[in-house]
Structures are given as C-alpha cells and as structure tokens.
Chains A and B, each alone.
Chain A
C-alpha cells in the first residue's frame, strides 16, 4: 500500500541546502567584519608602547610630525563630539518637526510632492555637500558673523545636519503617518485639540520610530569624513566657540594617512584614532538601540 512518506524528500533536502548557503553568506560577512576589526587593533595598539592610553586620549597636543612628536588626540575627540552634538541640535528638531508637519498638517498633495524631494536630498553625495559648505556657506558665515574663517565647527555641523535631516525626516514621517487613525480619532472624540492629539498620542505612539530615524540619520553624520575634511577648518585645537576651526577624528585620519610613514608612530597613532572613533560609533549605536527598544510598545492588542 502506498502511504504518505515521512522521510526526507528531495524538496526538504533542497530547503536544507538553501539554508546552508545563506548561513555561509552571513558567516562570510561576519568574518570579514571581524578581520577588519582585528586589523584595526593590530595596527593601532602599537602606539601605546610609546604613549600611555591616558596621554593619548587626554593629551592636548597633536603634533605628529614634530621631533619629538606629540600624540594627544583630546582636541580631535572634542571636535568630533562638538560637531556631532551641534549638528544633532540642528537636525533632530528640524527633521522631526518637518516630519510632523508633513504627516499631520500638510495637505495630501503637498506631502506627495515634498516627501520624495526630501528623500532625494538623502542621496546627495557628501562631497557635493562639502563643496556647497566651502563655496557658499563659508563666505556667508565669514561675512555675517565676522569670524576669521567660515570653515569652522558651525559650518561642519550645519552641513552634517543637512546630511541627516532627510533621513530623520523621511523615517519619522513614516512612523508618524503610521500611527493608526483609530488612535487619533479616539483622542479627538474625547475633545482633544489636534495639537493635544499630536503631543499626547501621536508622538508617544511613534516615538520608537522617531528614535530609529534619529539614529539612522545621525549615524550618517557621526563617522562622516568628507564633509568635515572639507569644511571643519582643520585646526587641531579644543574648540572654544561655535566658530572655531576644528579637526574631528575622521578628518584627521583622512588628511594624514597618505603622508604618515608605513608602520611608523604616526601611522599607528592614526589607527589608534580609528579605534577611538569606532568605540564612539559603537557606543552611539548601543545607546540608540537601547533607547529605541525601551520605547517600543509592549504587548499587542488581543481580541
């Protein structure tokens, strides 16, 4: 008698091999990442035979080509933090408010037009943004604020904000627009105004998505090299004002790597800077992930 066969058929074998292929591909990318990391540490750590970790991180002087050389990246760290921080202060409110406007106030027609344009902005190559900052924004800042150079912290932060706003806006808008109409109606039916509804229902309900948007937008800015190389001004000193020229970590690495002697102290110091930068972005991602998970709604509605 012919019954149903319970043994592995050809189809199941195929399933298994497909799974194996995907596993191998995933493994390959993870291994590659691991190797890059290993390389980063191998090329960076030797500098600490010459300079202590503390002197490296907190040293105020970055004179890598002097004799004797100074390898203190405190100014570079501060520059990175300041540029990213100021750009966040600009980009988060602008991006989220634009998203709120598009999702809640703009007419369907306007939204339909503006959204793709904003998304297109995200595709601008960073070198183009850097060029814009150099040629248009820098002279403008120099004139208006009467500062020594328009290539400075503020300009870099502005350009980085410019890079993150499209992502922040577009993804937040999706999150805000995705809040169920039922929730909005429930709020309005209770006699809440549109603004109260936005503030008390729509934002809390989409906060996880907004956080994700901010993370993705900012992560484009945080390790960005080309823009800061072009418009930050390049001075390796701790910024004292918004309009001081600065030298963030990625700019320093990109500018100096070509001239640093292979496996010399300068070379090692630049890789060590890379390790610090990596630690920064890692920390940022972990914190961001934690925040966005914390606000995720728990428990779905059950019927």
Chain B
C-alpha cells in the first residue's frame, strides 16, 4: 500500500432509504494534500464527505455499502468505535455553527470531551489552535465572551480552530466559505494553504475558482457518480471528459 494514501474510498454505495445517492465511488486522499470535491448541487458531495467520518450514521434510514479505509483500516468495520474515529477526523460545516458558549469554551470543548483536565494545558492548546486558525489576534481580548457575537467569517475560523484543537489527521470541510464574504473567504483559503502542511484536507466547494486556488487534486461528481479525478491543474486546463469541461466552464446543461 502506498504510504502517502491517508484515506481511500473503496467501491462505496450510499442509500437514503431507497434512493441511491452514491454509486461505487473509488477515490484516494493523499496525505498533506487538499482534495476538492466539485459538482452540481445534489450530486452527493456532502453525502460522500459525511461518509468519511460516519456522520451519516445519524440518519436512521441510511445504508452504506463498500469500504472507507483510514490508513488501511475500514472505518465501517463493526468493531471500530465511531467516537474515537471522529477524534481523528475533524469537520467544518457549511454554516458556521459555534456552540452558544464563550470563544474559549468553543475551542476547549473537544479537549474536554476527550478527557483533558489540566487547565494550563487547555489554555495553551486553545491559544495555539486560535493562532493556527488565524483568529487569535482578533479575539484575544474577548476570549471569554460569547462566540455568537463574532462575525460570520470569524465564527467559521473559530469552527476551524475548534476542529484543529483536538489535533485530527484529516480535516473535512463542506463548503466552508459559502456563507462568507470575499474577504473572509480569502482568509479561509490562505488558512487551508497553511493547514495542508500538517493535515490531509478534503473540501467540498461549488466555487470553481476556489477549487482551482486551494486544491491539489479535484474530483468531479455528477448524479452520485465520480466522473473524473485528477490533479487540479490538469482538470482545469485539459480535462479528459466532456462533462467535466462543460461543468467547469459553466456550460453545464
């Protein structure tokens, strides 16, 4: 097995009750790379992302077939503990969703539920994560105020800091900038650039320029199928399939 493959999706089918949302997906995510998932609305990008940390377990009428291998181990294996698994895979959602707690408590949350008790260690890690998420300078004076008082862009960076605090190996992002203005978006994109030095990143985006800017590899989905996956440079300059080029040039029918 190629050691730089962090996670591999192996013949994955996904069903919402009788509706098949994903068809035989085969995809590999390389360590320290950013993989972008693109495709029209409803093609199954979020569904796939949520399969990667078993968030879809929460949907009672859903069903998965196939494998998702994290460093060679199937995360859908019956004796995998979902809670521990999710500690290794951070997630950032489409809409900023900070807890109605202080900025500090938001970031400390993951540490506390993972058993960290030492006050100074928590403080240290909170500061480090906020710095990593490029938010520290903006919030250091209001760290004990409610996170709901932050702007949308700040809230989203807080959510990133919160995910980073537990030191995951993979970070999943589902259209993290779709609710943000251009300046906040730029900040997050810069952040993604820095984060890939330490993490493996999978990002869903509906913004072609964003995929081109931030990702190393791009996967194009359509109607629950993986149509094409390749280096981002190649996908955006000379895609091998007509559907892909139609979509990225906006000529999609």
Contact = CB atoms under 8 A, between A and B. Distances in A.
B98 interface: yes
Q: Which of B55, B89, B109 has the most CB atoms of chain A within a 10 A radius of its CB?
A: B109
Contact of A297 (B148, B159, B163, B166): B148
Contacts of B163: 189-190
A300 B113 CA distance: 25
A275 B251 CA distance: 77
Contact of A188 (B58, B84, B90, B95): B58
Interface in A185-232: 185-193, 196, 200-201, 204-205
B148 A191 contact: no
A3 interface: no
Interface of B: 53, 55, 58, 60, 83-84, 86-87, 89-91, 93, 95-101, 109-110, 112-114, 146, 148-149, 151-152, 155, 159, 162-163, 166, 179-180
Contacts of A110: none
A204 B109 CA distance: 13
Contact of B113 (A182, A200, A297, A298): A200
A200 B111 CA distance: 13
A299 B90 contact: no
Contact of A299 (B58, B91, B114, B146): B146
Interface string A273-285: 0000000000000
Contacts of A190: 86-87, 90, 109-110, 113-114, 162-163, 166
Contacts of A191: 83-84, 86-87, 110, 113-114, 166
A31 interface: no
A301 B179 CA distance: 12
Given A191-B110, A192-B113, A297 B100 contact: yes
A299 B162 contact: no
B148 A303 contact: no
A196 B93 contact: no
B148 A182 contact: no
A302 B95 CA distance: 11
A107 B61 CA distance: 11
A125 B113 CA distance: 46
Nearest to A179: B100
Contacts of B155: 301
Given A180-B97, A182-B93, A189-B163, A303 B109 contact: no
Nearest to B82: A188
Contacts of B93: 182, 185-186
B83 A185 contact: no
Given A189-B163, A299-B148, 10 more contacts: A182-B93, A182-B95, A187-B109, A187-B113, A188-B86, A189-B90, A190-B162, A301-B96, A301-B152, A303-B96
Contacts of A303: 96, 151-152, 179-180
B148 A301 contact: yes
Interface of A: 107-108, 180, 182-183, 185-193, 196, 200-201, 204-205, 297-303
A298 B110 contact: no
A186 B149 contact: no
Contacts of A186: 91, 93, 97-99, 159, 162
Nearest to A303: B152
B53 A189 contact: yes
Contacts of B180: 303
Nearest to A180: B97
B165 to A, nearest CB: 8
B130 to A, nearest CB: 16
Q: Which of B83, B151, B163 has the most CB atoms of chain A within a 10 A radius of its CB?
A: B83
Contacts of B151: 302-303
B200 to A, nearest CB: 16
Contacts of B89: 189
A183 B83 contact: no
Contacts of A180: 97
5 contacts: A182-B95, A183-B100, A185-B58, A188-B86, A298-B148
B152 A302 contact: yes
> Closest 4 interchain pairs by CB?
A191-B87, A303-B152, A190-B110, A182-B97
B145 to A, nearest CB: 9
A201 B114 CA distance: 15
A128 B29 CA distance: 66
Contacts of A107: 60
Nearest to A199: B113
Contacts of A188: 55, 58, 86
Nearest to B154: A302
Contacts of A302: 151-152
B146 A189 contact: no
Contacts of A297: 100, 146, 148
